[in-house]
Amino acid sequence: MATATSKQVILRDYVSGFPKESDLEITATAVELKVPANSSSVLVKNLYLSCDPYMRMRMGKPNPATAALAQAYNPGKPVFGFGVSKVIDSGHPDFQKGDLLWGIVGWEEYSVITPTPNLHFKIHHTDVPLSYYTGLLGMPGMTAYAGFYEICTPKKGEYVFVSAASGAVGQLVGQFAKMMGCYVVGSAGSKEKVDLLKNKFGFDDAFNYKEEPDLAAALKRCFPEGIDIYFENVGGKMLDAVLVNMRMNGRIAVCGMISQYNLENPEGVHNLTTIIYNRIRIEGFVVFDYFDRHSKFLDFVLPYIREGKITYVEDVAEGLESGPSALIGLFHGKNVGKQLVAVAPE
């Protein structure tokens, strides 16, 4: 029976505080290139792996509060996340050799998966870059879609602010908001990213939060009339600055709070009384609740991509060995656009 060596990215031990590259290590294991007889599992070769902020939650000690959303990784075992993969062998009736899929796989060259509805999706449209299924066409795309259209309940002409706006989700939220006729401002952490927001993604304005001594004043400058919708990706000080700039009946869709994930003691948010007199709704959401709408989402978004009306920027790290630095870099904002790892040629 044919075997191959499969490199893997292993979590050494549970992480507290900021994760380091040395919290992960590369090992190799032998894999058989066939699924066992009578098994309904699927052997895949991983082509692209996605680096996503929520993976930080999986690196810490098991936490009952977050287990339902993000089960902890096992020290000594490969980390896992969303990826794009090609079927090598299959005992599952829905998948054949050569099929492409996206969904949860290990950070390794080959994975054996048990296809699970809403965790693994067969790829039917290959006229767009396959890597997009780690981002625009996958989990982050669904996050932007569900978060913006369902949680933000946007209306034409509203004022929209997006933090971490050049990231996988933010760049899409901004473009969706522009398509709806909103005024959109984004924040990001470098001049390069701010330029992307203004010149590539079509944001009306953008600022580098690292160069703003007073975030509330920066927002006041960008939104003299106030903010109707805040798509929250960062939390902490930015949320406090937003709260004092929200308009009446504003909405805050809480997608993530990346500024808080690595803190042992999260920052305090002080301006919550503003939500009373401004009738603000703050709502957390998790994209997994919306995965049953993925094919509807593709019907919506693929035409825009084909017509060039939605653009997408990826930051591609080459080779599984670059996975640890790519993932850790995400928490330092090193990525420009959606961070992913190209593991093997298509």
Residues in the site for a copy of itself, rule: CB under 8 A? 57, 65-66, 68-70, 235, 239, 244, 248, 254-257, 260-261, 265-286, 289
The length of the chain in residues reads 346
Residue whose C-alpha is closest to residue 84's, from 149, 131, 24: 131
Strands 246-254 and 227-232: parallel
Q: What is the C-alpha separation between 290 and 287, in angstroms, rounded?
A: 5
CB of 265 to a copy of itself, least distance (A): 7
Q: Which is nearer to a copy of itself, 81 or 115 (CB)?
A: 81
In the complex, what is the shortest distance from the CB of residue 182 to a copy of itself, in angstroms, rounded to a whole number?
A: 22
CA-to-CA distance for 296 and 150, rounded, in angstroms? 14
* Nearest CA-CA partner of 106 in 149, 151, 49, 60: 49
299 φ, ψ (degrees, to nearest 5):
-60, -35
**Which residue lies nearer to a copy of itself by CB, 284 or 319?**
284
DSSP 108: B
Give me the least distance between CB of 269 and a copy of itself, in Å please. Answer: 5
Determine contact, residues 197/186, Cβ cutoff 8 Å.
yes
CB of 98 to a copy of itself, least distance (A): 37
- The candidate with the shortest Cα–Cα distance to 258, out of 19, 11, 13, 10, is 19
Least Å from the CB of residue 232 to a copy of itself: 9
**Nearest residue (CB) to a copy of itself, 70 versus 180:** 70
| Nearest residue (CB) to a copy of itself, 162 versus 255 | 255
- Residue 93 or 268: the one with the smaller Cβ distance to a copy of itself is 268
